[in-house]
């Protein structure tokens, strides 16, 4: 199973970036993407990295000028962090899309990063303004998330949970597990579920996963390897709760990421994938 980063993954990554970069001045900083090939970030102080859903917003300032380095990992991107004195292996040099080196000599390298943009911090809304409320933000607007979730009552629950414009932060793992925990099939129309309960459960689960080292992406409460999920990655295996064989389909209809959807037909009654 390919592990695609989810909001909790990105939140934890931002804390690691802060540990390496926040408060430091950049000795070197370059972006290996055509739009920003001439940008020189030397001399900027890293204020910190904020997140909105799966978007990373690394804020920089120098003499009153405030810039944001916007990155998004999508399926394959990575932020690599190196201790002082360490350099990137030669084989990954062609993968570098952004390279930040602090005055302490620590290196942060964005590898294979599909989204690397430099913008004014005041313009961050241009890259994250379309997103729904962030489940991990302190001021998470649950009522707005419920409103957005319920806005299209015919939509399959799994598709609505994955839609970052509804609420930001859930990826495929959490969308699948939340359908299981809600006791309905992934294709159940949103109008047939208690949107308030789904949003509350999503916020609780993602926050716990982001904050608890042992609980990271554990949905069953069982941290043993291979036992941490109810249905995700469990195709062909017996459901932990009822023993019915867990099913999988190759994609969520209309999903460009062609993600897979897992479910237990017994624990999750409702429409099948061909609805």
Active site includes 5?
yes
Residues 248-267 that bind Zn ion (CB under 5 A): 264, 266-267
Q: Give 169's contacts (C-beta < 8 A, 6+ positions apart).
A: 6, 7, 8, 10, 53, 54, 134, 135, 136, 202, 206
Residue number, 100 or 239, with CB nearest to Zn ion: 239
Q: Which is nearer to Zn ion, 132 or 273 (CB)?
A: 273
Residues 219-248 that bind Zn ion (CB under 5 A): 239, 241-242, 244
Is 6 labeled as catalytic in the residue annotation? Answer: yes
From the list 99, 208, 195, 180, the residue with the least C-alpha distance to 146 is 195
How far is the first Cα of the chain from the last one, in angstroms, to the nearest whole number? 25
| Smallest gap from residue 238 Cβ to Zn ion (A) | 8
Q: Which of 6, 148, 156, 259 is catalytic?
A: 6
Check residue 241 and report its DSSP letter.
Answer: T
Residue closer to Zn ion by CB (options 35, 242) is 242
Least spacing, CB of residue 264 vs Zn ion, in Å: 3
Has 78 been annotated as catalytic?
no
- Spatial contact of 40 and 30, defined as CB atoms under 8 Å apart: yes
Identify which of 13, 33, 213 has the alpha carbon closest to the alpha carbon of residue 108. 13
Catalytic residue at 94? no
For Zn ion (CB under 5 A), the number of binding residues is 7
The CB-of-216 to Zn ion minimum distance in angstroms stands at 24
- Give dist(CA 205, CA 200) in Å, integer: 9
Q: Which of 24, 54, 59, 155 is catalytic?
A: 54
Round to whole Å and give the CA distance between 228 and 131: 29
Enzyme catalytic residues = 5-6, 54, 260
By the criterion CB under 5 A, which residues form the site for Zn ion?
A: 239, 241-242, 244, 264, 266-267
């Amino acid at each position: 199973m390919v592990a695609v980063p989810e909001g909790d993954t990105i939140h934890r990554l931002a804390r690691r970036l802060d540990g390496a970069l926040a408060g430091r001045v950049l000795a070197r900083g370059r972006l290996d993407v055509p739009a920003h090939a001439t940008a020189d970030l030397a001399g900027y102080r890293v204020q910190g990295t904020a997140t909105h859903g799966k978007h990373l917003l690394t804020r920089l300032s120098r003499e009153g000028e405030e810039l944001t380095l916007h990155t998004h990992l999508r399926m394959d991107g990575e932020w690599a962090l190196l201790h002082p004195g360490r350099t990137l292996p030669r084989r990954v040099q062609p993968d570098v899309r952004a390279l930040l080196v602090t005055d302490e000599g620590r290196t942060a390298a964005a590898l294979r990063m599909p989204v690397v943009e430099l913008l004014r911090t005041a313009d961050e809304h241009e890259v994250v303004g379309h997103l729904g409320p962030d489940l991990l933000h302190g001021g998470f607007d649950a009522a707005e998330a419920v409103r957005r979730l319920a806005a299209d009552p015919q939509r399959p629950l799994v598709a609505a949970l994955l839609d970052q414009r509804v609420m930001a932060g859930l990826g495929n793992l959490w969308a699948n597990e939340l359908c299981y925990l809600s006791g309905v099939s992934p294709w159940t129309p949103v109008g047939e579920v208690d949107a308030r309960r789904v949003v509350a459960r999503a916020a609780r689960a993602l926050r716990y996963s982001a904050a608890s080292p042992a609980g990271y992406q554990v949905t069953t409460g069982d941290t043993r390897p291979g036992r941490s999920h109810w249905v995700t990655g469990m195709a062909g295996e017996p459901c932990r709760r009822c023993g019915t064989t867990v099913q999988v389909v190759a994609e969520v209809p209309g999903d460009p990421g062609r993600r897979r959807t897992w479910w237990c037909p017994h624990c999750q009654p409702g429409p099948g994938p061909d609805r």
